[in-house]
Amino acid sequence: MRSNRTSRLGAFALITTLAMTGCGVLGGPDRPEGTQATAVAATETVADLGAVVATRDAQITRGRNLYSVRVELYELRRRDGFVNVNVKMTRTDQGTGNDDWQVGDTFEGDTISLTFAGVTLVDRKNRKRYLVARVDPDTAPGGKDSQYLASTNLSKIFVKPDQSIWLYATFGAPPDDVTAVDVVIPRVPVFENVPLG
């Protein structure tokens, strides 16, 4: 049973990596241009994410620069034993000169990676903290960072004023009796008591 689940996680990671490479997030041929760079989960499109359930405004410091970012959290839904956290981040400051926000390790948390894998879910009912799902790093295509089932290669993402990006992180779903969780994203105010469908 464990090998079947590991195989499914590996396949999911491969599909996600291939999809992100195709849309340019991992340096594929169709690098996103203009005002929208996308890194949503391979099994979903932006239209499939559902409604925005909460918004937070964050001040993110990188080097000597301070960036204002609006973070929109989409609804959390269980699917095949997993939950995806999907967010849209829009840079709301006007910037000065050539000061694009390089996302890089902004959201790495404790993972030490150039990914969105620092996100966690907090289940207050059972007093548990859920980390981003991952696969064996030795079998992950693309090395250590691709072990996380989350947006990767964020060092290649540069965000201009008024530009938006979509990021995701995948978790093993909490038990069915858990109806709400806190979503913790590094450097962003906590999204508390988010409904979990």
What's the pLDDT at 147?
A: 85
pLDDT in tens, 105-143: 999 888 888 999 999 999 999 999 999 999 876 766 666
What's the pLDDT at 135?
A: 84
Q: What is the mean pLDDT of the chain?
A: 80
What's the pLDDT at 95?
A: 82
pLDDT mean over 80-91? 97
The CA distance from 140 to 175, in Å, is 27
DSSP per-residue letters across the chain:
-HHHHHHHHHHHHHHHHHHHHHTTTTS-SS---TTEEE---TT--GGGG--EEEEEEEEEEETTEEEEEEEEEEPB-EETTEEEEEEEEEE-S---SS--EE-TTTT-TTS-SSSSTT-EEEETTTTEEEEPPB--TTTSTTSGGGGBSB---GGG-EE-TT-EEEEEEEEEPPPTT--EEEEE-TTS--EEEEEB-
Q: Can you read off the two tokens belonging to residue 88?
A: 């849209």
Q: Higher confidence at residue 22 or residue 70?
A: 70
Residue 45, pLDDT > 70, answer: no
Q: Higher confidence at residue 146 or residue 3?
A: 146
Among 60-74, 143-157, 180-194, which is the least confidently predicted range?
Answer: 143-157
What's the pLDDT at 46?
A: 67
Residue 4, pLDDT > 90, answer: no
Q: How far is CA 184 from the centre of its chain?
A: 11
Q: Higher confidence at residue 90 or residue 15?
A: 90
* Domains held by the chain: number: 1
**CB 69, CB 92: distance < 8 Å:** yes
What's the pLDDT at 145?
A: 62
Q: Give the range of the structural domain holding residue 188, as residue numbers without chain letter.
A: 2-195
